Amino acid sequence: MNTLAKNSITCAITLAAAMSTANLYAQTEITVATVNNGHMIEMQKLTPIFEQAHPDIKVKWVTLEEGVLRQNVTQDIANKSGLYDVMTIGMYEAPIWGERNWLEPIDTSGNYDVEDIIPSIRGGLSYNNTLYAAPFYGESSMVMYRKDLVKAAGMEINDRDSWEHIRDVAAAVHNPSEGVYGMCLRGKAGWGDNMAFLSTMANSFGARWFDEDWKPQLETAEWKSAVNFYVDLLTKYGPPGASSNSFNENLALFNQGKCGMWIDATIAASFVTDPKQSTVADQVGFAQSPIKATEKGANWLWAWSLAIPAGTKNADAAQTFIRWATSKEYIQLVGQTNGWASVPTGTRTSTYENPKFLKAAVFAEAELKAINSANPADSTLKPSPYVGVQFAAIPEFQAIGTTTGQMVSGALAGSMSVDKALKSANSSANRQMRQAGYY
Amino acid sequence: MMTLNQQRKFKTFITGAFAWFIALLLFFPIFWMFITSFKTELQAISVPPSLFFEPTLENFGIVQERSDYLKHAFNSIITSFGSTFIALVIGVPAAYAMAFNPTKKTKDILLWMLSTKMLPAVGVLVPIYILSRDYGLLDSRTGLVIIFTLMNLPIIIWMLFSYFKDLPKEILEAARMDGANPWDEIVKVVLPLSIGGISSTALLSIILCWNEAFWSLNLTASEAAPLTAMIASYSSPEGLFWAKLSAASTLACAPIVIFGWFCQKQLVQGLTFGAVK
């Protein structure tokens, strides 16, 4: 063989080897759209570990404000733009988008322990028994209170106290001259703000959003009673400007020792017991949400979850990433890397069986109890046609919930009566449901 | 009783004090954002707010660790300077034509151009989003440059039109007598005479593009997102974020504030151009 032929063969082999190597390491880039919160940021930090284990996948992150995220992912999915391969969605979107085939079903085969996901969370993210989004962290709502103040006032707080008792405790610890307000609740208008809380309160008063014929029920005695109680409670024992407070504002007040009680998302428990950000970290007690006529729907259920838009070109890589990020092994990884108090909670039963987690998180038992007691498929005393505790999983709900929230916030600020607010909200909801063809 | 001189001094003092008050009032939010960026999250939310505290650089470290600041800054620079350059290339001849060769419809055209600014941006979000998707311009700097150019073109033409209109026509006539064609008139006469006005127009356009958030948030994801998108990513629905958000905002504002500081002479000169006749 002459030199030229030898060289040609060597070059060809080298080129082929180079090409196959390049092929081997050809990376699939996936873009993940997410919200800014502690657990999600932690996932971003740990992503290099995933990339090391899967050198063929590279993960890019887009962090957005919650409202912008909702708008962007809805736009992306409805227009099939393909900007995102993995998107963070909530329990509200998962069944609606799953029904429309906008999402790829989550691959739960093999070693992905789907049975370990808390049943209520799994149910809320499924449509027709198919899981369309894998929960990354879940939450319910519960009472967080100052043990020292309640004790000093000679009162007690227990699981499922009556709303009347909670009001009495609020009155007893309310001391505005010392900068302590008896009760902090969400007042800012929005279906995910004041109406998330108020829906659970109304549920416990025996109310429902719609009857079996999808007729809005906001003018019923149960809604009036619940909203009047809420407005009265916050007006008498709430902080000033309560109508503009939501989760973060109340968190800031509670952490500065200005709230006797706060009823909100269980995720808050990890913040209010963290001495780095709370001045009352060692004085916080927890209890299950109060009730009036029923326990049903008295505390909400929500999960920030990872889903794959239908039609993405990188579905396989997206599935691999989601299976890693929502696995038991990921929770172990966070526990070992950052401590067990930092693990994403509210998704897997095994987390609450882990003694290290139970030791690190004083709120674990109360949180699990709250999550387990919420049932999105049966959250109202009277029968209702919708799924969801603090929302109705229909596309029209966002607008209806936000309009109602604005009216209630107006009533709280004193610009209109509760009756008038509910009447306006009901007629607006009625109009929207009729236009949408429900009746 | 005050003498005339004392009265004048007193008047100057009052005017000066009022101007300082307004300036400080306008500057206060930026100052507050700046000092909040050096606080811990707990200090950032404390009521009453703390003015004296031990400053920390922790928030800047977190922003640097979490976000690719340089990439976002690069996107902001490309989109604001690029779109301003293209808008000036289109705007200067347009304003020249309308200022020196007006027709009966010139006023209508100017009003029509301004009327495009009256439509809320969200009103055209869906068609622009779909067009961007179909032409592959989603999450691209080119897409943002086109949108920013179109967004600022009416303002640029209006501003240039008013600067050009103040130029004495006799100078152009003299140039024509010397054999200048329209291109020569623009390049050799109009531009040198109105450089102050053009600079301030360009600066205003750059600042408007730099601060634009609506289109940036809706049309970009990971590749073309400018600094405004980076700031928005620090808002959190659950958890305290004010100090980190302030640090991100400070980093995003810094380049344009420094740039504006260096160019303030041109900016003031241009904005007051033709104000006193």
In chain A, where are the structural domains located? 26-138+301-360, 140-300+376-435
Q: B140 in contact with A at a CB cutoff of 8 Å?
A: no
Give pLDDT, residue A3: 53
A84 CB neighbours in chain B (<8 A) are: 221
> Is residue A167's pLDDT more than 50?
yes
Measured in degrees and rounded to the nearest 5, phi and psi for residue A126 equal: -110, 155
Banded model confidence at residue A5, pLDDT cuts 50, 70, 90: low
Q: A431 in contact with B at a CB cutoff of 8 Å?
A: no
CA nearest B136 in A: which residue? A81
Phi-psi region of B118 (alpha: psi -120 to 50; beta: other; left: phi over 0): alpha
Q: B134 in contact with A at a CB cutoff of 8 Å?
A: no
Q: B133 in contact with A at a CB cutoff of 8 Å?
A: yes
Place of tokens 């740990």: A46
Read out DSSP for A330-379? HHHHHHHHH-GGGS--SSBGGGGG-HHHHHH-TTHHHHHHHHHH--TTS-
A63 CB neighbours in chain B (<8 A) are: 66, 233
Is residue A138 within 8 A of residue A120, CB to CB? The reply is no
CA distance B226 to chain A (A): 12
Q: CA geometry: angle at A386 spanning A129 and A372, to 5°?
A: 65
| Residues A100, A78: Cα–Cα separation, whole Å | 10
CA–chain centroid gap for A177, Å, is 35
> Is residue A270's pLDDT more than 90?
no
A352-391 pLDDT tens trace: 999 999 998 889 999 999 999 999 989 999 999 999 999 9
- In total, the C-beta contacts within 8 angstroms joining chain A to chain B are 84
pTM of the full structure:
0.83
- Across A225-247, average pLDDT: 95
Q: Which of B41, B126, B236, B244 to mutate to test the interface with A (most CBs of A within 10 A)?
A: B236
| Residues A47, A59: Cα–Cα separation, whole Å | 7
- In terms of Cβ atoms closer than 10 Å to its own Cβ (0-12, 13-18, 19+), residue A390 is buried
| Residues A132, A121: Cα–Cα separation, whole Å | 12
Q: CA geometry: angle at A363 spanning A324 and A380, to 5°?
A: 85
Specify the range with the lowest mean pLDDT, choosing from A81-85, A179-183, B246-250, B269-273: B269-273
Q: A256 in contact with B at a CB cutoff of 8 Å?
A: yes
| Residues A372, A376: Cα–Cα separation, whole Å | 11
What is the 3-class SS of chain B, one letter each residue?
CCCHHHHHHHHHHHHHHHHHHHHHHHHHHHHHHHHHCCCCHHHHHCCCCCCCCCCCCHHHHHHHHHCCHHHHHHHHHHHHHHHHHHHHHHHHHHHHHHHHCCCCCHHHHHHHHHHCCCCCHHHHHHHHHHHHHHCCCCCCHHHHHHHHHHHHHHHHHHHHHHHHHCCCHHHHHHHHHCCCCHHHHHHHHHHHHCHHHHHHHHHHHHHHHHHCCHHHHHHCCCCCCCHHHHHHCCCCCCCCCHHHHHHHHHHHHHHHHHHHHHCHHHHHHHHCCCCCC
Best CA proximity match to A306, nearest among A287, A286, A324, A283:
A324
Partner A, chain B 7-46, Cβ-Cβ below 8 Å: 41-42, 45-46
- In terms of Cβ atoms closer than 10 Å to its own Cβ (0-12, 13-18, 19+), residue A165 is middle
Banded model confidence at residue A10, pLDDT cuts 50, 70, 90: low
Q: CA geometry: angle at A406 spanning A402 and A411, to 5°?
A: 145
Banded model confidence at residue A397, pLDDT cuts 50, 70, 90: very high
| Residues A432, A44: Cα–Cα separation, whole Å | 40
Out of B47, B129, B239, closest to residue A79 by CB: B129
Asked if the domains at A26-138+301-360 and A140-300+376-435 fall in one CATH topology, the answer is yes
A188-203 pLDDT tens trace: 999 989 999 999 999 9
Partner A, chain B 202-261, Cβ-Cβ below 8 Å: 217-218, 221-222, 225, 232-241
Out of B130, B139, B237, closest to residue A35 by CB: B237
A81 CB neighbours in chain B (<8 A) are: 129, 133, 138
Q: A60 in contact with B at a CB cutoff of 8 Å?
A: yes
- By three-state DSSP, how is residue A170 classified? helix
Domains of chain B, first to last: 56-271 (1.10.3720.10)
Tell me the CATH number for domain A140-300+376-435: 3.40.190.10
Is residue A277 within 8 A of residue A271, CB to CB? The reply is yes
CATH of A26-138+301-360, one of 1.10.4010.10, 3.40.190.10, 1.10.3720.10, 3.40.50.360: 3.40.190.10
A132-142 pLDDT tens trace: 999 999 999 99
Q: A72 in contact with B at a CB cutoff of 8 Å?
A: yes
Element of type H or E holding A54: none
| Residues A420, A418: Cα–Cα separation, whole Å | 5
> What is the percent of chain B where pLDDT is above 70?
96
Banded model confidence at residue A284, pLDDT cuts 50, 70, 90: very high
Phi-psi region of A322 (alpha: psi -120 to 50; beta: other; left: phi over 0): alpha
B233 CB neighbours in chain A (<8 A) are: 36, 62-65
Contact yes or no for A83 and B42 at CB 8 A: no
Q: B179 in contact with A at a CB cutoff of 8 Å?
A: no
| Residues B145, A351: Cα–Cα separation, whole Å | 48
Give pLDDT, residue A12: 52
CA distance A65 to chain B (A): 5
Measured in degrees and rounded to the nearest 5, phi and psi for residue A390 equal: -100, 10
Contact yes or no for A248 and B239 at CB 8 A: yes
| Residues A104, A114: Cα–Cα separation, whole Å | 16
- Across A87-112, average pLDDT: 93
> Is residue A22's pLDDT more than 50?
no
B75 CB neighbours in chain A (<8 A) are: none
The mean of the pLDDT values for chain A is 91
- By three-state DSSP, how is residue A57 classified? strand
| Residues A324, B200: Cα–Cα separation, whole Å | 53
Give pLDDT, residue B36: 94
CA distance A71 to chain B (A): 8
- Across A216-232, average pLDDT: 97
A60 CB neighbours in chain B (<8 A) are: 222
| Residues B232, B237: Cα–Cα separation, whole Å | 12
Contact yes or no for A265 and B238 at CB 8 A: yes
> What is the percent of chain A where pLDDT is above 90?
78
Contact yes or no for A256 and B234 at CB 8 A: no
> Is residue A70's pLDDT more than 80?
yes
Q: A48 in contact with B at a CB cutoff of 8 Å?
A: no
| Residues A230, A368: Cα–Cα separation, whole Å | 26
Contact yes or no for B222 and A31 at CB 8 A: yes
Measured in degrees and rounded to the nearest 5, phi and psi for residue A320 equal: -60, -45
| Residues B26, B21: Cα–Cα separation, whole Å | 9
B84-122 pLDDT tens trace: 999 999 999 999 999 998 899 999 999 998 888 888 898
- By three-state DSSP, how is residue A84 classified? coil
Q: A8 in contact with B at a CB cutoff of 8 Å?
A: no
User: What Rg value do the Cα atoms of chain B yield, rounded?
Assistant: 23
| Residues A329, B133: Cα–Cα separation, whole Å | 38
Amino acid at B230: M
Element of type H or E holding A266: none
Place of tokens 């503009």: A244
- Across A423-427, average pLDDT: 97
Partner A, chain B 40-79, Cβ-Cβ below 8 Å: 41-42, 45-47, 66
| Residues A289, A158: Cα–Cα separation, whole Å | 9
B43-62 pLDDT tens trace: 888 777 888 888 999 999 98
- Across B219-230, average pLDDT: 92
- Across A289-304, average pLDDT: 95
Which are the contacts of B93, defined by CB distance < 8 A and separation ≥ 6?
A: B186
Contact yes or no for B222 and A64 at CB 8 A: no
Is residue B140 within 8 A of residue B224, CB to CB? The reply is yes
Give pLDDT, residue A23: 46
Best CA proximity match to B47, nearest among A259, A2, A327:
A259
CA distance A213 to chain B (A): 33
Helices (H), A100-162: 119-124, 147-152
A39-65 pLDDT tens trace: 888 899 999 999 999 999 999 999 988
- Across A172-187, average pLDDT: 96
Out of B129, B222, B236, closest to residue A62 by CB: B222
B182-209 pLDDT tens trace: 889 899 989 998 888 898 899 999 999 9
Give pLDDT, residue A26: 67
What length is written for chain A? 439
Report strand pairing: A259-265 vs A181-184. parallel
Q: A389 in contact with B at a CB cutoff of 8 Å?
A: no
